[in-house]
Amino acid sequence: METILSKLPPIFLACHLLWLLATADTLKMEDCAPKQCGNNTISYPFWISGQQPSYCGYSALEISCSGGKPFLVQSYNSAYYIKQLFYQNSSALFGDMLVDVITGNCSTPQFNVSLSFGPFVISSTNKLMKFFWNCETVPKFSSDFYSYPCGSNESYVRIYESYTQEDSEDNQTSCSISKVPFLGSNGGTVDQSLSLMKEGFLVTWTVVSCSDCQASNGQCGFNSTNSMFMCICSDGTYPTSCPKNRNHGKTGHLEAIIPGSLAGAFLLIMALVIFLKLQRKYNAQENIEKLLKQYGSLAPRRYKYYELKKITHSFQDKLGRGGFGTVYKGKQSDGRMVAVKFLHDSTSNGEEFLNEVVSIGRTSHINIVSLLGFCIEGSKRALVYEYMPNSSLDKYLYSENPKTVLGWEKLYEIAIGVARGLEYLHRGCSTHIVHFDIKPQNILLDEDFCPKIADFGLAKLCPPKESVLSSMADMRGTIGFIAPEVFSRGVGVVSTKSDVYSYGMMMLEMVGGRKNLKPSAQNPSEVYFPHWIYDRVAEGGDIAASDMTNETAEIARKMALVGFWCTQTIPANRPSMGRVIEMLERSLDELELPPKPYITSPRQSMDLEPYSQHSVDTISVQSIDSTAPLSNSEPSDGLR
């Protein structure tokens, strides 16, 4: 929509502003025009809530139109309604719903009908009906009265010709008394008294006259700010009436019509653009709700944004920040600790986000981080994961503090755990998932250092029984871990083998990071990672420190060999994750040395923060069009 606005000539914008100023008061006049509610025409000093703005009448005379009856909102229990309006003498016939619902012979209203709101007065034209009930003794009336049974005691009714008429002897009885005004003739029986009450009663009101304003073609209104009458005219509001002699001739009309027409056309265009935008937004939201109903109990819990704000204590404890989101530590009402990841610039389609959330949420594996829920509100996207107290693997690989360095046995367990998690994603799910961002920063560790694969921001879904992705659009990954076929189409197809490559690079970092070598060279990373390790393994040299035992040295060598197999340039030459697990569980003597991979060193990331707090470089297939040299080696299973 901003693009359309930027292309419109400035004259259109100027005309539009002038037209809005000129029509603002006209819209007020139209808002305050008389409205129908049933058989009654509602106009000043009354106004209908929900249909008219409050300045169209007195605040105390607010009408609620329900079932064709205009009810007075500020009356007791909103029970009074207008039967008929007489604007010429400022009077109205009111009905009382509490009276209307009385049925049967016991027709005593045990309440007074009175007015204590607005500019109303019960007209003296009304007659008065007095009811005496719950009498302890029989009252001694000097004039006529009617009795009838109602409740445990006898009840009585007296009818007076005027509402203002009183009889002092009425107050000397031992009865409860209620008064009801009504119009009509005297009634001689209980049934007649009930019908007379339901005819209603007459009221009058006193407000500032509207006649002068109406005579000047204005609409009457009320300014609640200063409690003053106002006359709404086509060119503004005035105290009593619209000014005269405002017609400047045909020229003035033409001057108003031309810019008004241009502004009207502009407004139509704007309205159409806004409508289409809102319609797309509404349809997208509607589709999201349909998908949620379709998934039913299979979908993870859906959080509201305000709930996540409360859980994270207004985002106070930041665990990390990456290229796709920021992670905060939170605590649910049940005491469970969680990690809440808010995605940056979430312009992705809500349906695609929800499909991925549901697919990942349906995974259940000890080496996959548990997705507890999600949030999708407008452009806001968030994921709620279980909290991992030992942070991520990179914290232990690159640490200078010996206390935070993991032993080779634990690294080996972590390597197998990650492999099992990837095997589950590739083969164990009903919908195969390619992660596309396997690296130490995305391997979280629980309290027992059990590894869990996290951060599915780049993950892609494969159809069942397939492991090859048909589309390579918008595929990304982290420099140093991304497989060559992802950014170079001459290498091979993108598939689950792309995750195998990333896993292999991570394995080599686990081996290299554990040794923490710092050889002196112009480009130390090229010497160290991974060519130096390959050359040492090929020559039969040690790749571990001299103080290592034979068992730990064998673990390091085995992990390096598996890493070399996984980082073969041609995807077909890499083992599947199932084969990787077999290789890790075999003895070192059963593993072959693969051809030397053609790979460049990943960036050696030192002092990395947990949960991908550092900003990791990513690349897209649309930005690189290179082709890596292909290996002529035949595919092998890596075993002798």
* Residues contributing to the annotated binding site for ATP: 341
Residues linked to residue 63 through DSSP beta bridges, in sequence order: 48, 72
Contacts (Cβ under 8 Å, ≥6 apart) of 469: 434, 460, 462, 475, 493, 494, 495
Structural tokens at position 560:
């390096």
Beta carbons of 18 and 266 less than 8 angstroms apart: no
User: d(Cα 211, Cα 204) in Å, to the nearest integer?
Assistant: 17
* Residue 167 annotated in active site: no
**């719903």: which residue's tokens?**
97
Helix (H), strand (E) at residue 511 = helix 497-515
Beta carbons of 453 and 435 less than 8 angstroms apart: yes
Annotated active-site residue in 394, 437, 455, 499: 437
Structural tokens at position 397:
């690989």
User: d(Cα 479, Cα 382) in Å, to the nearest integer?
Assistant: 25
Q: Which of 239, 236, 220 is nearest to 47 (CA)?
A: 220
Structural tokens at position 591:
């593993």
Beta carbons of 481 and 439 less than 8 angstroms apart: yes
User: d(Cα 183, Cα 198) in Å, to the nearest integer?
Assistant: 9
Neighbours of 307 (CB within 10 A): 18
Q: Count, in order, helices (H) and strands (E) of the chain.
A: 16, 28
Neighbours of 125 (CB within 10 A): 13
User: d(Cα 40, Cα 361) in Å, to the nearest integer?
Assistant: 59
Residue by residue, DSSP assigns 208-230 as ---HHHHHTT-EEEEETTTTEEE
Q: Which of 501, 508, 505 is nearest to 487 (CA)?
A: 501
User: d(Cα 323, Cα 615) in Å, to the nearest integer?
Assistant: 5
User: d(Cα 587, Cα 565) in Å, to the nearest integer?
Assistant: 16
Neighbours of 119 (CB within 10 A): 15
User: d(Cα 430, Cα 407) in Å, to the nearest integer?
Assistant: 36
**């302890």: which residue's tokens?**
136
Start-to-end CA span in the chain (Å):
64
Contacts (Cβ under 8 Å, ≥6 apart) of 569: 484, 491, 597, 598, 599, 628, 629, 630, 631
Beta carbons of 42 and 58 less than 8 angstroms apart: no
Residues linked to residue 122 through DSSP beta bridges, in sequence order: 203
Beta carbons of 267 and 16 less than 8 angstroms apart: yes
With vertex at residue 195, the alpha carbon angle to CA 190 and CA 198, rounded to the nearest 5 degrees, is 130
Catalytic annotation, residues: 437
